[in-house]
Structure 1
């Protein structure tokens, strides 16, 4: 084939293979050089259009160097460093939002994530093949704060957020992190702007930034775990805000607030995982209202008072040793519910707490002891009936239930779905995460079954209005903190008289004596051989004939 004219079609038979030599177009060297120069120039212009800030800084740097030399470059850098240090010292939040966050985000976008993006998307099975080419989700931007990296990613056509949620754990380890979550909306909150034309302009910018983008998902990676440190108790508000009670610290170092008004709260967590931290943090946030009479705490501690006995002065009602007293407490809460329903019907739809009509919060620790493990069947049914009424009808009239348990299965807690607000601490099984937080919560990043041993009081909660979980750590109160709080914020003397409005005064829990603690044997059915009913009827008939005297005459 060597020496044949260029453009001739040559066929060689090797099985069924045909080899065709295409025609080649020969260009002079100067035309090739001009083409390459035009190509490189076009790419350079396009890069400048895509990176105007880098271009502007580069032009200014060169101009300053040409006019003032090295001193002209060093002086602005030193002044900018000093200004940044003062800014961070005076207001670190705005410094991260407007200075350090954007700079660090741009750096990590280029150096960390873009460098391994193709490999990570391919290995996590998020790439697709279209027309014999591999297409990847597009990394739009990276936003950073003190602890988190938020990746804005445009999905491919045909992808859904569920595809990324199923790969949450793989994405975390693909980028060298332990925790990651996928959000369908921006995870940060919409800022509150002031009035005037500046506030109006900022609101327009926020409306554009927080616009609905169905084709974009947000991957949150924990760069620095801020929840390793123990959270100290929060200050006690004089008048508690029932729509925003401070209980925990989020991963982004912001405070997580519980919306308690008109809701019930379920806390699920294995033993020694910090359920007490959640309950005592809630009690502390309500302490100001307890002392003023705005809140009544009715506490049930089936563990004999081992958890809540320290705070007894704060509780209007307290039952810890007698299950009959616990059932009476729940029955009386139902009576308060009925009285308020009759009084508020046609007036309001949601109860507003006042000192004359306070908020009643029924706190139950180890709820499974009342709903599953109680041996007295009649008493267990009575407790279940009262809890069902409180959970289904009590939120609107200001009779709320806050319950903690270890096993969230329906066999243990049949009315689990009646708790609108749920908190998942460390759990023992992956399936329990969805039982507490709802279906799909674990796929969205709530890995409550993988909590390390140090993570006591660390759990996952749901943000208001979104199904996306957030990882938080609740404050820790020592025994000394609890005793001091109970002495300072004791409930009023007449706190237990709330039942007077329904015509019944409360009774104290009966004291345990030796006679009352003696175990009473349960009645047993007579035991005997297992016989069919037909044979038992015959035997009973013969027994009756034998016992009946013969009236027809004596023996002959």
Structure 2
């Protein structure tokens, strides 16, 4: 039996078989011609896929035809008319012109001049390219959508790559493309990611509060995102935890939310129950807007025990009673309470949550507060009871109910581990470095919503004391004009 490559326990001597292939000679003209044809086809596909480039091509061809048939004067007049129409559009509606023409032109320029030009070296140096059988494979650059501050670069991943692989190389991509910072976002397609390349930080400027005529509890416009677009915070069906060091801007989050709730305060579709453990020092300027305001009571019972935290427990227990009543009414009818005038969304605002969970001196009161908080956070969302709570220390022994907040906001903090405790594991690797936020940028932070794979960098609106006074006056006047039904409650709260 002759040995074969698959014979066990025997040495084999298989010499390689020489194979000679016949070479095919191709003339240089054919090679150049094929190269030109491929380039032309690529240009045509690019033009067809780019609306602005397609429109510009049609206009240029039209002007060329007009020039060839009727001469220079008619084509010049047509060119002036087109330029005048564009200038008039820009003067009349700069926002739509920027969105339709300016941003598209910027996207095309960034795609051609920056990303397509440096794509291959960027992928190689960032170890995001793959080599197989002697050939180099690069992630596919699908497109670029640019604004004044950020480029959104869509990329199709190579087989075996994940979003985390790109997130680890974000700092290298930022250096290669000469941008300030780079963050990686997921899309609805698991094989496609979106790189947010930040060229100019729009969050260095203070964000003014937004005047609103209507109210969308699914998305309150409370600030600006890092792409320059308005940021909307969902409150209906959500609890919000705000974590930040002293001076980080926790008040900006609370007051910008209250500002957006103004229409609901007028028509009684929103009611505010507020707890300010600092004796009312922080939130007292808006007391006229609150249906209930617990700020501690410096009273002593018959045994000489202070009752400072008693009012906090009573407010939370009353909120549990409201939640129980709604659960009885809504059972079998709906899974989510819809606020209406007379059946409002109850928003509980707590300025310093640790004062209720870790610093309460009376054990009995602390047990009551813990029980009420756990019930409200675990069951209150569906019944139309939402909570917005602020705290400085996010550790579990300080905030045992931390994980019951679906929306978490991390402003400037003092330690890197606070970011992980607030937003979750892996968020710092995705760019959420809240410990690096400058002290002169209050209100800047990262927002993480359950179900979303990465955080959003945001700056919340800055609300001054004058803005608060104006807000109280505006709501009072609107309530008076609406018939006075809500005005009586506001005036009694103010008294």
Q: Pick the TM interval, shorter chain.
A: 0.7 to 0.9
Gaps of 5+ in 2: 1-19, 48-52, 297-307, 477-485
Q: Name which of 156, 161, 165 aligns with 1:154.
A: 156
Mark the CA change 1:319 to 1:122 in structure 2 (over 3 Å): closer, same or farther: same
1:38 maps to which residue?
A: 30
Alignment partner for residue 378 of structure 1, among 364, 367, 371? Answer: 364
Shift of 1:387: 0.5
- 1:275 aligns to 2:250 (yes or no): yes
Distance 1:300 1:143, change over 3 A: same
Match of 1:346, SS state, is coil
Residue matched to 1:514: none
Distance in structure 1 (CA, Å) of the matches to 2:39 and 2:190: 28
Q: Quick check: 1:313–1:487 contact (8 Å CA) kept in 2?
A: no
Alpha carbons of structure 1 residues 331 and 142: separation in structure 2 relative to 1, 3 Å:
same
Q: Does 1:170 align with 2:162?
A: no
SS at match of 1:395: coil
Name the SS for the 2:312 alignment partner. Answer: helix
Cα distance change of structure 1 residues 26 and 308 upon mapping to structure 2, 3 Å threshold: closer
CA, structure 1 residues 354+97, in 2 after alignment: closer, same or farther (shift >3 Å)? closer
Report the counterpart of residue 374 of structure 2 in structure 1. 388
The match for 1:312 among 275, 287, 305 is 287
**Alignment partner, residue 220 of structure 2:** 245
Other-structure match for 1:9 = none
Rg larger in structure: 1
Structure 1 CA distance, aligned partners of 2:256 and 2:218? 15
Q: Is the 8 A contact 1:143 1:150 kept in 2?
A: yes
Deviation at 1:74, TM superposition (A): 6.4
In structure 1, runs of 5+ residues without a counterpart are: 1-22, 186-211, 498-505, 509-556
Pairwise CA distance, 1:388: 0.5
Aligned partners of 1:375, 1:466: CA distance in 2, in Å? 38
How is 1:489-500 mapped onto 2 (pairs within 5 angstroms)?
A: 489-490=475-476, 492-494=487-489
Alignment map for 1:303-342 (pairs within 5 Å): 303-321=278-296, 322-342=308-328
2:202 aligned residue: 226
2:407–2:450: 8 Å Cα contact kept in structure 1? no
Aligned to 2:11: none
Q: Secondary structure at the match of 1:472?
A: strand
CA contact (8 A) 1:171 1:180 kept: yes
Specify the alignment match of 1:140 in structure 2.
142
Match of 1:198 in 2: none
> Which residue, 416, 421, 429 being the options, matches 2:402?
416
Deviations 1:495-541 (A, max 9, x none): 799xxxxxxxx9x9xxxxxxxxxxxxxxxxxxxxxxxxxxxxxxxxx
**Mapping 1:86-165, distance limit 5 Å:** 86-165=88-167
Match of 2:240 in 1: 265
Is 1:369 aligned to 2:346, yes or no?
A: no
> Hey, what does 1:399 align to over in structure 2?
385
The TM-score, its normalising length taken from structure 1, stands at 0.72
Alpha-carbon offset, residue 85 of structure 1? 2.5
Work out the CA distance in 2 between the residues paired with 1:85 and 1:269.
46
Compared CA separation, residues 26 and 326, structure 1 to 2 (3 A): closer
TM-score scaled by length of structure 2? 0.80
Determine the structure 2 residue equivalent to 1:481: 467
Q: Does 1:349 align with 2:335?
A: yes
- Structure 2: how far apart are the matches of 1:36 and 1:339? 85
Query: What is the aligned counterpart of 1:457 among 413, 431, 443?
Result: 443
Length, aligned pairs only: 444
Q: Secondary structure at 2:332's aligned position in 1?
A: coil
Structure 1 position 154, deviation (Å): 1.8
Q: Are the structure 2 counterparts of residues 380 and 167 from structure 1 closer, same or farther at C-alpha, using a change threshold of 3 Å?
A: farther
SS in 1 for 2:218: coil
Aligned counterparts of 1:140 and 1:344: Cα–Cα separation in 2: 48
